[in-house]
Structure 1
Amino acid sequence: MGRRGYPAEFRRRVLDLLHAGGSVASIAHDLQISDQTIYAWRRQDRIDRGEIPGLSTAAERSDRCRCSTDGSRRRDTCEKPSR
């Protein structure tokens, strides 16, 4: 069974280390995580802050699924985001 992901607080701490001047390679080595994971988090953070174009995390979350007022998901209003 694979890993489900890292907690948001952990990702935020990694990004804080980057903002403080740490290198991706040293942070990845110290925390024993993939450097590609850190690059992806950094890229998404830049998108969320509007520094580079892309789909922000908040926009993606709101577009994932619109539910009807009774809470059931209707086929015509529930769409998966394209990747």
Structure 2
Amino acid sequence: MAADLQISDQTIYNWRKQDRIDAGLEPGITSSDQVELVAARRRIAELEAELAVTRRASELLREVVSPKGGSRPSR
């Protein structure tokens, strides 16, 4: 059947192994946990990018405005 569908033996093996993991018959990360993990990693990347932008904006504001709010540099 795999040959008829042009699916490799390795792909069938991977599917069967993942099915056994999902059924709790083998140790490993379940499909649902894998989906959740991918979403969490994506969200972490988004938050890290937002944090980098916020830090850069803070640096730019620090360069423009002195801590005392004056227009002359301190001596």
TM-score, normalised to structure 1's length?
A: 0.47
Q: Does 1:74 align with 2:33?
A: no
Q: Which has the higher helix share?
A: 2
How far did 1:30 drift?
2.2
**Percent of residue pairs identical:** 45
Q: Which structure has more RCO (C-alpha within 8 Å, separation ≥ 6)?
A: 1
Once the two structures are TM-superposed, the CA of residue 33 in structure 1 deviates from its matched residue by 1.4
Name the count of aligned residue pairs: 47
2:35 to 52, 55, 61: 61
Moved over 6 A (4+): none
Q: Structure 2 unaligned segments of length 5 or more: list them.
A: 50-75
- What RMSD, in angstroms, separates the aligned Cα atoms of the two structures? 2.4
Deviation at 1:65, TM superposition (A): 3.2
Q: Out of 43, 47, 57, which is 2:17 matched to? A: 43
Unaligned runs of 5+ in 1: 1-26, 77-83
Q: Report the TM-score when normalising by structure 2.
A: 0.51
Deviation at 1:61, TM superposition (A): 1.1
- Give the match for residue 67 of structure 2: none
